[in-house]
A and B are shown apart, each in its own frame.
Chain A
Amino acid sequence: MTQNFSSQRFRYMGHPMPYLPADGCTGKLIVIEGTDGCGRSTQAIMLKEWLEVQGYAVIDTGWTRSKLVGQAITDAKEGHSLHRLTYCLMYAVDLADRLEYQVIPALRSGFIVLADRYVYTAIARGIARGADKQWLRDLFGFAVQPELVFYLQLGVNDLVPRVLQACKMNYWESGLDMNYGDDLYDSFVAYQSELITQLNIMAEEYNFHCVDAKQDPKAIQRQLRKAVTAYLSNVNYLAPTAPGQQSGLV
């Protein structure tokens, strides 16, 4: 079987930006969503390695990592004074920057792009802070539509011990800017519960591939790999070194 190199059009979650290329999307965007403590990052690393072993070119991209605003977001958060609008908009800048400089070029080059979190987290966090849902969807409409979205689902009661162990119950993950009260624990529970509610709503709407994050990490990874394999063969997206593939020689 030969690889399908026919030029595909980019699909966007809302309005595409007219100046961005419409064609040439031969790569695949796979997203792993989930709250803190669900094991997302670990799963992403394992998935990437597994894909690379098979010969796929993979890049990973995560939240707040753009060169343009990544550091500024970290710094602004130190100050504890980001208004919800500014908060959402800065994450939008970050995503736009990563999309244009990392994701879209990689997709055009035929890479698999593994995104650790995507617009869904941004929208959930925005809603939890009281931003208008429609405004958030309009704002992030420029995002490329992912092919696959995995949602590592975890209830807030399972989430708490993991976050505490990782010492990650901090100001922002507890939504302390949000006035859920000044008790760190109570605030954390309220805020994360809201995030989970919003992600669950989007899971239904956007057809996420839901995975029980309480399982053993290896079991989760098996599920992810199974789904990815099925998807990739479905769309005829084979790695260069897949068995049976001819070499490049004429």
Chain B
Amino acid sequence: MEVDARRFNSRGVEEFKMILGNARAGYKSNQAAKFTSDHLEAVSDIVFDDDLTEIITPSFKLNSNKKFASRLSLGQYLRSSIPDQSPVAEYENVGFWAWVTSLYFEQLLKPNSGGKTFQLWTNPRYIPEATLSKRRYYRHLCYLPYLICKSHPQGTAEFFLSLPPFQHSDIIEQLYTSDQSFTPYPGVIEVAKKLYIDPSDGSYRKNLLGRSTAGSAFRLAKVICNQWQMNYDLHVLSEEQIWDLLPKEFNGWKRLVSSQTQTDT
């Protein structure tokens, strides 16, 4: 159903925080809390409450029934739905991003086995902080996909967002945050896509984040690219040029790519 996009007013944000806070009571910050159907119902009750929300002007629509297969499809949908120059899209617009999260909340929670309860993590995944923190902003499950789809080429979005909508991961924590030498460069990302994503099912290959694994994505982002960007203008190097620059430690990963290609043909 197409609905007018809204934002929580300050009371709405507090109400949303209270629901999440109640569910997380007694859990440590590194533990997932159990989120029940009662909690979900409490969230549903406030999404369109006129006392807690207000329609955004100039208005735009969101489809409240939309289902997202991945973080990528969520990011693409928000990117195409939120008007380009709309100030509501700023991270600090806490009321808007918290409301979008509440609109699609069930899809942003990983179901526990049995599917009747869900995993709830700490607030930065669901409610932005009043001021952007460079260490946490990327945890927001709706803002980050939107930002990546808005600010980066399609290939970069595909590399970072090929995960279920609820899945925040070390791909983001370890790789996306390499924001000087890895993330900004489409040629590097295209090489990473080839090396670390299995084209047969779109999943990430094993051990891509191994700190001491030869040729891992972790080493590419944190070590190799850091060295390259001192001497090479990664902004203009093509995927092929970067592929050729890869040192020997990447040969095993390259072989995986070529064997996959041969299997496909």
A, B in one complex: no
Q: Which residues of A contact B (CB under 8 A)?
A: none
Q: Which residues of B contact A (CB under 8 A)?
A: none
